[in-house]
Every structure is written in structure tokens, then in C-alpha cells.
Amino acid sequence: DQQVKQNSPSLSVQEGRISILNCDYTNSMFDYFLWYKKYPAEGPTFLISISSIKDKNEDGRFTVFLNKSAKHLSLHIVPSQPGDSAVYFCAASANSGAGSYQLTFGKGTKLSVIP
Amino acid sequence: GEEVAQTPKHLVRGEGQKAKLYCAPIKGHSYVFWYQQVLKNEFKFLISFQNENVFDETGMPKERFSAKCLPNSPCSLEIQATKLEDSAVYFCASSPLREVYGYTFGSGTRLTVV
């Protein structure tokens, strides 16, 4: 039973354009969401996060949007750069109940930014 | 140092052999977390520690898997009698907080069981 789903295994985007990565979740107890970027043979590195009390969080070129009613979040990268090419993981956590203080990950989306 | 050090980077074991993986958290981080990533898919939570005490072990398989964090030693994850299905990359993360937004991940140990 996958609680965090990233339905697009891969995405190709032209340099300078917008990249939109999507993530859906099923567990209504999740109240904190994170995006991680991962290069081959390295651990995931934190990119941006959002609490369930917000619907948007922005950090430079990266913006995360949260739609709680749809249980959907998205990561926007504008403008996309070749160095953004990596696998992006969506992750979620609950601050109470089962699964609190641990991350539940999606399967990742491989982003390729074409120069 | 400012990185989570995981050793070894690669480990190959025959089925039935023991595997032991190590994780040195960032100095000053009280929490250590272990995750398993099978076939480049999603990460599965295994266990977490607050200093040398188990904080959450709800993801640990009941058999064959054990973990420790002892004072002044790297944390360890041990798999007794490895099986083919244990082949995965095992990631360790450390944090000064129990909350998930404090994580720093190591680069992982790739375990291959043949």
C-alpha cells in the first residue's frame, strides 16, 4: 500500500523552461512534506519543504504547492537548469500517531534538463 | 565533521552470510535513522535511535535484522543470514531533532547478496 505516489517515473524539460513534478498522498495524517534531490551514488539532499498549514512555500527557483483537499503537492523549478537533472523524491511525515518522526517516500521522478 | 559517514560503500555477501553496515552521524546529532532502498524504489524506514536508545523500530524486520548505537562508536546495522531480497542500498541519516526536517543523509551502503 503506497501512501506517497509519484506517478511519473521520468520527465524531460528544456533548459530555461519550467519543471513541474507531482506527488499524491493517501494518508490524511501526513502534515509535513519534503522534496529531496538525489544524484547517483549519493544520499538524498533536502530541497524544500512545506507544512500542512501552508499552501505554498518558495525558495529561489523552487516552489512547492500543497493542495490538502486533493492530497496533492507539486514542485516547480523555474527556470530549469542542466544541474537540476537528478531524481526527485517526495516524502511525507506525520507528527502524531503511527509513522510519526519517520519519512514515507515516493518512488521518485527522474528529471532530465536538456541544454 | 559535517557529513554522515557510511561504510563500507559496497558490500557483497553470499546468501546466508552476515552483513554489517556502519554509520557515523554528524557530531552533535542525537538522532540516527536507517532507511532501505530496494531497486531504486522508495525508501523504507527501518529504525531510529535517540543517542544509544531505540526511538522507533516499527520498520525493522522481526528476524535477522538488528541495530545498535553505542557511545563513542559508529552506529551499526547487522543482517544475520542474508537473503537475496536484502540486496538494497541502506541509507543512514542523522539529525539534531527527532522531527524529519533536520535530516542529513549519508551516501549509503550498497549491499549485494549473491
Q: What is the pLDDT of residues B5-33, one digit of tens each?
A: 999 999 999 999 999 999 999 999 999 99
Query: According to the model, what pLDDT value does residue B1 have?
Result: 59
User: How far is B109 from chain A, CA to nearest CA, in Å?
Assistant: 9
Percentage of chain A exceeding pLDDT 90: 90
Shortest CB distance from B43 goes to which of A42, A101, A105?
A105
Distance from the Cα of A10 to chain B's closest Cα (Å) equals 13
Which residues of B lie inside 8 Å of A (Cβ-Cβ)? 4, 33, 35, 40-43, 45, 48, 55-56, 58-59, 91, 93, 98-101, 103-108
Chain A residues close to B99, C-beta within 8 Å: 32, 93, 95, 101
* Mean per-residue pLDDT, A75-91: 97
For residue range B53-87, what is the model confidence (pLDDT) as tens digits?
A: 999 999 999 899 999 999 989 999 999 999 999 99
pLDDT in tens, A16-35: 999 999 999 999 999 999 99
Query: Cβ–Cβ of A102/B93 closer than 8 Å?
Result: no
**Looking at residue B102, what is its pLDDT?**
82
Rounded Cα distance between B111 and B44, Å, is 15
Q: Do A43 and B42 touch (CB under 8 A)?
A: no
- How confident is the prediction for chain B on average, in pLDDT? 94
DSSP annotation of B25 reads P
Q: pLDDT-derived band of residue A85, with 50, 70 and 90 as boundaries? A: very high
Mean pLDDT of B24-51: 92
Query: What value does the mean pLDDT take over residues B1-5?
Result: 87
pLDDT of residue A101: 83
B100 closest CB neighbour out of A4, A101, A106: A101
pLDDT at position A99, please?
Answer: 63
pLDDT at B21: 98
Phi and psi (nearest 5°) for B6?
-110, 135
- Per DSSP bridges, beta strands B19-24 and B5-7 are antiparallel
pLDDT at B101: 80
Rounded to the nearest integer, the mean pLDDT of chain A is 94
Hey, are the CB atoms on A102 and B40 less than 8 Å from each other? no
Report, as an integer, the average pLDDT of A68-94. 97
* Nearest residue of chain A to residue B40 (CA atoms): A107
Q: Would you place residue B98 in the very low, low, confident or very high pLDDT band (cuts 50, 70, 90)?
A: confident
Residue B39 pLDDT: 84
**Residues from chain B contacting residue A91 (CB–CB below 8 Å):** 43, 100
